[in-house]
Structure 1
Amino acid sequence: MSWFRALKDTTRSGLTVERKRLEPLIALRGAAGLAIVLTVALTLFGPAVAAGSAFGAYQAAIATFQRSWRPRPELAIASGASLGLSTFLGYLTGSHLFLFLPLLAVWTFLAGLAWAAGPTIGIIASSNVAMMLVTITLPTSIGQAAGHAAMMAFGGLVQATLVILFPVRRWGAHRDALADALAAEADYARRLRHDPVAPFDPQPLMLARSAAALTPRQARTRPAQLHGTRGIAERIRPVLASLADPAVGVPADGPERDRVRELLAAAGSILDAAARAIRHGTPVTIPSGAIAAFRTPDTGAILAGPPARAAKRLGSLLRDVVETAGGVEETPAATWAHPFRRARPVPQPAPPPQAKPLSRPTLIQLLPVAVRAIRKEARPGSPILRHATRVSTVAVAGYLIGNALPLGHGYWAPMSAVMVMRPDFSQTYSRAVARFGGTLVGVTVATGIVQLADPGTTLSAALAVVFAGLMYLLMRTGQLAAQACVAMYVVFLLGMGGEAWDQTVPERVVLTLVGGLLAMLSYALYPAWETPRLRTRLADWLAALGEYAAAVVGHYARPEGKACPDVREALLKARAAHIAWLEAAARAKTEPVRHRGLSRAAADDAADALHHLGRVAMLMEAHLPDRDATPVPAAAALADALRTATADGARALRERRVPRWKPVRDALDAWDGEGVPDRVVRRGAGLLLETLEDLSDALDHDVPPMTVKPADAEKPGP
């Protein structure tokens, strides 16, 4: 992509206002907390302290909006306390440039590294640095600086108290994550009716798994509807795929395919009903037609073999989903609900040992986890380390440039740069454009209000609260709307402290532009492009899928039933590698750099081949043999060959060579001589080799002829 097109796309992205679900009650709660802090500070300490303390409450409310599964009060307290500490340290050195600049560089560098611990921590840390640049100019003594810091921490405490006293959908994010996973599987079931090999985005399941990790306090209080449903949903996806796929299921046409389409449509309706029930905390209401599809005895007469087993398994899992999601709603036509209830106790075999519940560290326990994540990224070539270096350099340069310009309020340049800079190109550039555009809109509106109303201290404080509340309400709709509200909030907040609008507006516009240009220039001069790393991401995905496929195939040689922890662990690693690839490919498409050894067409074809590799392994997982099944000894040799060949293939990918799959082919040839008791096993094994060869074909056309070296070729002799 050319620089012109990249800039055009990022500009369009930054200026886009999206239609999102608004959360007015949460926005009102955040604005109320800000109003309380401003009222207390104005009453007790005056406008200057009120202006500084308002930043603590403002930032603490923003922290509670971040996508985090942690208790929101903890985020608010941590945000207010960290901003107070940053402000106090900044004021101690602010009057001595030779002391403040090193502190700013170190503080900003650490804030940049904080992105390694997750976007929530990264956003809070970056915002603290940006707001510190403003708030250190407000106190006039060490005592006042300590008072400002204390009031900022008080602002975080107020926001945390309001979150506890007035919770809004306390488990709403967790419910939405689980409901989105079920809804994604419902959509997958419907798409399988028309495309038996339709792709599935694992992101909703990964997000639901992240939401299922709870702190000890959360685990004691979570709603019953959030118990167990995710685990059942995880087992439904491979069953849906195995029921629809012609390779191990039913033919592409005929009465068997018609029955499968009917079952898939019914499964989609039931999963959608369960998703709605979990999202809103209500009983499950299922259409009677969906129940009838699983009640009819025709399924057993039409389907046989693996498809019949998959249909039976699907009905059992859907019944479990309905029961764990809250049961079926009682209706006058309650008879159709009976197939999804156990009318009488049926003796069941002892369940397999349950895995340990997913646990999330508390805020204190998170500190060593964050430190380990930061240490892992503190290495040459790391995008996070490059981001930390960029943002610290830009902050220092912006501070020096802002102070050198005869405008006053020079801190706005580094503040704007720190607020817009992100570890990747597209977000940095789109946010820079949005911040400047939002600033123009915001200061224009604020100027008009000031000219018409000439607000004093009280009215300025009220207007600051109003526009902060609008920012909370609109912050998810896009950066342009949010930044316009931020500009108006800052103008009125500083106007409350005695600064006239004409002392803030011109400087803010010019210095915001300077900060945005510095941020954009820094990424152009010291980038962290994702495009050159695409081969590495693809290799990681191949290696993870190879481990997953090998784990699945290995269990045909040593049947252990459906509960296979090694398969589950390998699947999670493969999903994580898949998500990393998707994110990297999306970022690479917006970057103004040429590909290096992996064109966009080859990347798409290779990703398609790996998707099918994972799908075939998933199909085989859906039919894992029971403990008493007959072992297939040849499967052990194939598992070893898959593990070795995919590891070598990943190495070949990183070295810009085309991988070859001779060990897998040899293992399959040896297997054919022994005979295969189940067509699913041998057919699936053959499909694994086909997908690997498709991967080589996709890469073969993308490597220059001089560099095409088979990964398993022998070295030439002397």
Structure 2
Amino acid sequence: MPWIAALRHTGRAALRFERALGDPYRAARGALAVALVLFPVLAIGGPRPATSAAMGAFIAGTATFQRSFRPRPSLALAAGLGLGVSTFLGYLAVSVPGLFPVLLAVWAFGAGLAWSLGPSAGVVATNTLTVMLVVVQLPVSVPTAVAHALLCALGGGVQALVITLWPVKTWGAQRDALADAYASLADYARRLRYDPHAFIDPAPLMTARHAAALTPWQRRRRPPELGGLRGLAERIRPTLAAIADPEIGAAAEGPERDRARELLAGAAQVLDALARAIRTGEPASWSATAPAALTAPLQPVLHGPALRAAHRLTTLLGRAFGALDRDADSTLETPVPGPGGSLLRPGLARMVPVAVRTARHQLRARSPVLHHAVRLSGVVTAAYVLARLTGLHHSYWAAMTAAMVIRPDFVQTYSRGIARVAGTVVGVLLATGVVELFDPADRVACALAVLCIFGAYLTLRTGYAVMTTCISAYVVFLLGLEPGAPLETARERILMTLLGGAVALLGYALFPTWETARLPERTAEWIAAVGRYAAAVLVGYGDPAGREPGAVRGALLDTREARAEFLQARELAAAEPVRHGAHSPQLSRRQLGRAREALGLLSRVTLLMEAHLPDRQGEPVPGALAFGRLLADATAAAGAGVLTGTAADFTAVREAQRAFEESLGDAPGPAGQLAVVRSGSRLLVQALGELERALRPSAGGAAEVPAAGLPVEEAHADRGGQVEAGDQRAHRDGQ
């Protein structure tokens, strides 16, 4: 995409207004916490301490609105602590000539590295940088610096206290994530009725897994009905696909297909009911036709793999209902307790060494996080020094703007830059006009600031420009407690905003991090991960008793993570002003799309085979172990070939599959299981053939169209960098 087109695209995205507002109760709660800090401190200590306390409370409240599944009070406390430390160090450094720019550069570098922990940590760390820039401009003595730092930390403590005393949607984020996962399964079941090769959007299951990771405090207080349901959702998913697939499940036409459609329709109704019950906490209820479709006799209409998958589906749905309502009798099956255990999320104290190790791991030349940290440090310091040279009193707004604009990727940086400038100009002009016309008293100015905070919290989902307008007005009212000329101050702030935004955008252009350059690497990682997943499933058939516990599950999670990173890189690269072939000449965009389709088919076939994995007492399938290992080696070599420009060659895998399929004719074991392995291995090789054609360098992106009937995965938008990494990252468990 040319630079002009890329800038036009990001500019439109920056100024786009979304109608949806945030949660008014949570916005009111955050604004109330700021008011509880601001007015008492103003009455006792005056404007300067009140500014520090209000800044701390506001930023701590902002941290609680980040996409995170950690307890909200702990987020507020962590943000308050970070604000206190940054404020104290800033006050100490500003009193020594030449030391503050050095501290600013070091702190900005650390804030950039914090993005390795996820977007939430990166945003909070960047906010501590902006508070340091604002608060230390209010001159105080060094002994008083401790008091201002404690006031910033006090703001976070008050936010945590108010959140504890005024809970809003307790466990709401976890409930919504789990409910979305079940709703996506219901939609998947409905689509499978008419499209047996339909794909499921993995994002809800990815988010649900991150939501299921609990701190020790959360594990002691989690509602009992939320335990075990996510694991059941993961097991329901392959059974739905196994019933619908015409190769391994129900026949393509006839009574068996009609019965499978009835079964999927009933499952969709039950899954929708479970999603509603999880989201609201109310008892599950559904149409009378749903249990009838699920409990009607399965034999003799269904048989073989389809019958086994149907039995598993009804059992799993019964378990899900029993886990949700432990005091009720399931109308489907006798409730069976869900899988025990839980995913662990370290508490804040234990996160410190984890954060240090994670940040240290990013200190390598090719790390995008390190690139962002260096870029953030350089841009903020340059904006601060350039602004100081102007001699304007409000020069710190340039560095503050640069810190808020710069982000790890091109799209966010340039869209935020445009939105920041537009929102700041509007907010500063409006607030300055109010101050100039009405000259409000200190208490009235504080009330207006709190109102702007409420607006900022409420408009978090409407777009960055609208939220920035509220934040800019809030800062004007808050800093307006100090004497000064409002019109001159407004002019300086607008000029410094333009300077900071220009420095940030220019800095990214001179030292960019292009996702386009990472596409081949992401493609290679996904190919190798899918190969390991398929191999793990085949090993499960070849050695049921000796397979490692969790091997298939771990391989599936790796595949999802690799897929999510590929999709995110591809989406970001599509908006970058970089010629695709400049960084990855061996693959065109069309080839990447064809490879994605082939890998989607490979993942889906493996998922179908996973649905029929034998238990540990099952009969091993001869040759499956060797075939799986060969497939893993071949896909790993194909992934490496993407980076070196070498063509993928799966000839050995095709020959091994033919020999493997012939050997299954005389192999002992259940006929249904052997039929699944035989059909599955054939489909795996068919998917590898599609991948081979897509990666062929001589194809020039014009790979052959897949044979009729093969599924093509639907494209879907990624999380837009809003994941708590972990928590967001990811927004990160793909197909």
**Shorter-normalised TM-score: what interval?**
over 0.9
Looking at structure 1, the residues matched to 697 and 158 of structure 2 have their Cα atoms a distance apart, in angstroms, of 61
Q: 1:617 to 1:481 in 2, by over 3 A?
A: same
The offset of 1:265, in angstroms, is: 1.7
1:40-63 per-position Cα deviation (integer Å, ceiling 9, x unaligned): 211111012211221001111111
* Cα 1:128/1:338, change in 2 over 3 Å: closer
Aligned AA (1:699): L
**Alpha-carbon distance in structure 1 between the residues aligned to 2:547 and 2:268:** 24
Single out whichever of 200-209 and 497-506 deviates more from structure 2. Answer: 497-506
Query: What residue ranges of structure 1 are gaps of 5+ in the alignment?
Result: 330-336, 706-718
Q: 1:27 maps to what in 2?
A: 27
1:513 to 498, 509, 512: 498
Post-superposition Cα deviations, 1:98-139, rounded to whole Å, max 9, x if no partner, equal 211111111111110110111111111111111111110113
Counterpart of 2:75 in structure 1 is 75
Q: Which position in structure 2 is the counterpart of 1:612?
A: 601
Q: Which shifted more, 72-81 or 93-102?
A: 93-102
CA distance in 1, matches of 2:118, 2:637: 32
Q: Which amino acid aligns with 1:693?
A: G
Q: What is residue 729 of structure 2 aligned with on the other side?
A: none
* Counterpart Cα distance in 2 of 1:151 and 1:96: 23
- Check if 1:549 corresponds to 2:534: yes
Q: For the Cα contact (< 8 Å) 1:284–1:328, is it kept in 2?
A: no
Secondary structure of the residue aligned to 1:475 is: coil
Are 2:181 and 2:204, in contact at CA under 8 Å, matched by a contact in 1?
yes
Q: Secondary structure at the match of 2:421?
A: helix
More RCO (CA 8 Å, sep 6+): 2
Q: Is the 8 A contact 1:246 1:252 kept in 2?
A: yes
**Amino acid in the other structure paired with 1:138:** L
Looking at structure 1, the residues matched to 378 and 354 of structure 2 have their Cα atoms a distance apart, in angstroms, of 27
What's the counterpart of residue 334 of structure 1? none
Quote the Cα distance in structure 2 between the aligned partners of 1:6 and 1:18. Answer: 21
Partner of 1:694: 690
Seq. identity, %:
49
Aligned pair partner of 1:681 in 677, 686, 689: 677
Choose the corresponding residue for 2:629, options 629, 637, 640.
Answer: 640
Matches within 5 A, 1:65-464: 65-297=65-297, 299-326=298-325, 339-342=331-334, 356-464=341-449
- Cα distance per residue 1:469-508 (max 9 Å; x no partner): 1101111221011101001101111112333421321112
Q: Render the CA deviation track for 1:347-368: whole Å, top value 9, x for unaligned.
A: x9xx99x674211101010111
Aligned amino acid, residue 294 of structure 2: F
Counting only pairs closer than 5 Å after superposition, residues 504-583 of structure 1 correspond to structure 2 as: 504-560=489-545, 564-583=549-568
The alpha carbon displacement at 1:454 in A equals 2.3
Are the counterparts in 2 of residues 458 and 496 from structure 1 also a CA contact under 8 Å?
no
Give 1:701 deviation, angstroms. 5.6
Q: Which amino acid aligns with 1:601?
A: R
Q: How many residues are aligned here?
A: 690
What residue in structure 1 maps to residue 660 of structure 2? 671
What secondary structure, in the 3-state scheme, does the structure 1 residue paired with 2:676 have? helix
Match of 2:715 in 1: none
Deviations 1:678-712 (A, max 9, x none): 2211110011111111011112266669xxxxxxx
Taking the aligned partners of 2:251 and 2:484, their CA distance within structure 1 comes to: 76
Which residue matches 1:332?
none
Q: 1:206-226 CA distances to partner (integer Å, 9 max, x unpaired)?
A: 211111111112111100121
Q: 1:267-302, CA deviations, whole angstroms, 9 ceiling, x for partnerless residues? A: 1111111011111111101111111111222x3232
Shift of 1:97: 4.1
- TM (norm. structure 2) is 0.91
Q: What SS is found at the alignment partner of 2:201?
A: coil
Give the match for residue 5 of structure 2: 5
Partner of 2:733: none
The 3 A distance-change label for structure 1 pair 28 and 386 is: same
Query: Shift in Å at residue 316 of structure 1?
Result: 1.1
Q: Distance in 2 between matches of 1:700 and 1:211?
A: 40
**Within 5 Å, which residues of 2 pair with 1:496-507?**
496-507=481-492
Q: Which moved more, 1:227-236 or 1:474-483?
A: 474-483
Output the amino acid matched with 1:187.
D
Output the amino acid matched with 1:610.
L
TM-score, normalising length: structure 1: 0.93
The SS at the match of 1:168 is: coil
* CA displacement 1:237-272 (0-9 Å, x = unmatched): 110111111121123332222222222122111111
Cα offset for 1:327? 5.8
What's the CA shift string for 1:529-566, capped at 9, x where partnerless?
A: 01111111011111111111001011211224999511
Contact 1:177 1:211 in 2 (8 A): yes
CA distance in 2, matches of 1:266, 1:376: 49
- Displacement, 1:408? 2.5
Whether the aligned pair in 1 keeps the contact of 2:605 and 2:680 (CA below 8 Å) is yes
Q: CA deviation at 1:341?
A: 4.9
Offset at 1:663? 2.7
Partner of 1:711: none
Residue type of the alignment partner of 1:381: R
Q: Give the counterpart letter for 1:586 in structure 2.
A: E
What letter corresponds to residue 272 of structure 2 in structure 1?
Answer: D
Which residue of structure 1 aligns with residue 570 of structure 2?
A: 585
Q: Deviations over 1:184-230 (max 9, x none)?
A: 11111111122211122222112111111111121111001211100
- What SS class does the counterpart of residue 673 from structure 1 fall into? helix
CA positional deviation for 1:407? 3.4
Whole-Å Cα distance in 2 between the matches of residues 407 and 75 of structure 1? Answer: 36
Deviation at 1:675, TM superposition (A): 2.7
Contact 2:379–2:507 under 8 Å retained in 1:
yes
Q: Distance in 2 between matches of 1:497 and 1:315?
A: 68
Report Cα offsets for 1:642-671 as digits up to 9, x if no partner.
111111111111212221112312221221
Query: Cα deviation per residue 1:151-189 (whole Å; 9 max; x = unaligned)?
Result: 111111111111111111121111111111111111111
Paired with 2:323 and 2:545, the residues of 1 have a C-alpha distance of 26
Q: 1:499 to 1:181 in 2, by over 3 A?
A: farther
**Aligned-residue offset at 1:26:** 0.9
Distance 2:89 2:571 in 1: 39
SS for the counterpart of 1:101 is helix
Tell me, yes or no, if the aligned pair for 2:90 and 2:100 is still in contact at 8 Å: yes
> Contact 2:21 / 2:458 at 8 angstroms: preserved in 1?
no
For 2:312, give the aligned amino acid: R
Q: How has the CA–CA distance of structure 1 residues 409 and 439 changed in structure 2, closer, same or farther, with 3 Å as cutoff?
A: same
- The root-mean-square deviation of aligned C-alpha atoms, in Å, is 2.0
1:710 matched to which residue of 2?
Answer: none
Verify the 8 A CA contact 1:60 1:156 in the aligned structure 2: yes
SS at match of 2:461: helix
Question: Does 696-705 or 122-131 show the bigger shift?
Answer: 696-705
Q: CA deviation at 1:522?
A: 1.1
Range 615-624 or range 558-567, more displaced: 558-567
- The answer (yes or no) to whether the contact 1:214–1:360 under 8 Å persists in 2 is yes
> CA, structure 1 residues 340+172, in 2 after alignment: closer, same or farther (shift >3 Å)?
same
Q: Find out whether 1:58 has 2:47 as its counterpart.
A: no
